[in-house]
Structures are given as C-alpha cells and as structure tokens.
Amino acid sequence: MPITRRAALSALAAASSIPAAVATAQTRWQMATPYPDGNFHTRNIRDFLAEVEQATSGKLAVQMHSNASLLPMAGIKRGVQQGQVQMGEILLSAYANEDPMFDADSLPFLVADLSEAKRLGDLQRPFIEARFQRQGLTLLYMVGWPAGGFYTQAPLTSLDQLRGSRFRTFNAMTTRFAGLVGANPVQVQQAEVAQAFATGIATAMVTSAQTGVDTSAWDYAKHFTPANFTMTKNAVFTSRRALEGLPKDQADALRAAAAKAEERGWRMAEEATAAAEKRLAERGLTIGTVPPELAAAFREIGNTMAEEWATRTGEDGRKLLDAVRSSGGAR
C-alpha cells in the first residue's frame, strides 16, 4: 500500500474512533466504494447517506470515497473488517474465492430479467447475512447490475467467435465461462478495461451496458450484444461492531434508509439498462441480438456451470439453486 494511502487510512481510522461522550453528539464514519461518481450505484449511495444524516439530525454522518480512491475493490471488505472504514460496497461475486455462495448471481443465464434477479437476491440474502455475521459484518442492502452482454469487434453469431479470444474476466465465473467457450481469460478490473483493449491485452468481454458506458466502450469495441448473461449484485455493508456501537435510534435510521436504498437501487438498475444501451448506440456501437442456436448453446453452458457451482457450494448451494428453479429461474 502506498505510504500516502496508508497514512490516509490511519488518519481516517483515528478520526472515526470518537470517544463515547463525543459520539453521542456526532459520529463520523467513512465508506469506500470502487465505482465512479456517475454510476447509478454510487448515486444511490449518495442519496442513502444523505437520508441517514437527515434522519439522525446530523448525528451520524458518513463520508463516501468513490472510484477506489481510498481502497481498491479487493481491499474494501477487509478494510471494513479491520476498522479502516466503517462501511463499504463491493461486487459480491468478486469475493467468491472466499465462499462460492457470493457467486450465485454470476451463474450465466440463471435468471432472465431484473425481476428474477431481485428474487434471486431475496433467496440468497439469508445465506449472505449468515456469512457476513460470522465475519463481523452486517449486510445493509444489495442492488443488481443491468444484464451482462458481449462486447466484440464483429457481430456475435456463434461460440466460435469467442474461441481463442483474449476474454476479459473479473471473477471466477467469467473466468470459467471463458474456459468453457475456448477463450483465453484475462483478469482485468473495471478501471483498467479501456487500457486493456487499447493495448490488445483483451479483445472481447461480457459485462453490463452500464460498465460499457463507464469505460467508454465506443473507444474499444464495435458491437454490444445484450444476452442476459448475468445480473450480478453489489452489497453495501457495515462493520457489525460499528453498527452495535450506535444508539438504537441511529441504527434504526440506518437500516430504514438502507431498505429504501435497496428498493430505489433496483428501480435505478432498470432505468440504467435502457439508458446505458441507448448511450452505447448513440456513441456508435451496434446493438445486436443473440441468434436462437447461440442462445441454446449459452443455456447449456449455464446449466453446466450451475451444477458445478452447486457441487462446490454444498447443501446451501443446492438449496438455493432448487429454490431459484422452483421460482421460475434457470429454465
């Protein structure tokens, strides 16, 4: 960690460790998120934190550090656990190496739309809450991303076009998918996507239209093919110790604002889907469609990956997968 960042974290931790007598007057928390200010998740958090401060009459104030300016994605969860910051936001599936349950929403073609993605989140919540509790964390809310699609240089009509490509991945599931279609997986975080394409490190990827907008995909790709690949979720959470240290009225206000943020966030995801695809088209990307033969091949790969995941996850994974399928997903 650079000295400047280490010093900043130390200062923030010290500033947040307010004696109890002072904390009753005002408690100041720090929050880290890896996403840029214009992203709808970040805008939702900004509203959420404003509502918390208003509901507590300024007694609980949370300063947000966006765009990985304080902690990178990989360091946010541990940063909250260690008390460097009191709140954080992560892409849940980015932590699947800790527990495959975090990766359920990365199963390709498991759900068909955002309403099914929300239902998956509701079914997944008890499992996530239990794991977070064991790690000294409290889940506040989860919000999904718009459906993933493919960014390519030519129209996507068959799996053969992905075979041999340098396929940008960002979690274990996208890496496994790349392997199953014969592509060469290249792990690239969002902030580095444009550079990876510009230098030839990556030649294709699957991610949301929103990420395409955030990374100016029109500078490095020509086609975007919506495919309902996955609708992954971000989790916003807090240190359980910090939460339990709040007066009850402030903790209740935080939870109430989190519930509103979750509801608002899913609406924003729906709006972002259409807006992001429109923006991509306006900037010159051709918006494609998945041919029936390719859709069938995708579903077959998705079923293979779902069964692998359930085996890896054990009893909890099988319970969740069966619940999703009985509720209408993974057809």
Write down the domain spans for the chain.
Answer: 3-98+115-144+233-272, 148-230+279-326
Which position has the token pair 């240190």?
239
Q: Does domain 148-230+279-326 have CATH number 1.20.1080.10?
A: no
Q: Residue 19: pLDDT above 80?
A: no
Dist. CA 49–CA 29, nearest whole Å: 10
Same fold, 3-98+115-144+233-272 and 148-230+279-326: yes
Predicted pLDDT at 172: 81
Q: Would the pTM of this model clear 0.85, i.e. be above it?
A: no
Rounded to the nearest 5 degrees, what angle is found at the Cα of 261, between the Cα atoms of 255 and 266?
135
Measured distance between the N- and C-terminal CA atoms of the chain, rounded to whole angstroms:
45
Q: Average pLDDT in the 124-148 region? A: 95
Q: What is the pLDDT of residue 10?
A: 57
Report the CATH fold assignment for 3-98+115-144+233-272: D-Maltodextrin-Binding Protein; domain 2 (3.40.190)
Give 225's Cβ-side CA count (13 Å radius): 21
Query: What is the distance between the alpha carbons of residues 37 and 47, in angstroms, rounded to a whole number?
Result: 12
Q: What is the pLDDT of residues 254-294, one digit of tens each?
A: 999 999 999 999 999 999 888 999 999 999 999 999 999 99
Tell me the pLDDT tens digit for each residue of 202-220.
Answer: 999 999 898 899 899 999 9
Instruction: With cut-offs at 50, 70 and 90, classify the pLDDT of residue 5.
Output: low
Q: What is the DSSP letter of 146?
A: P
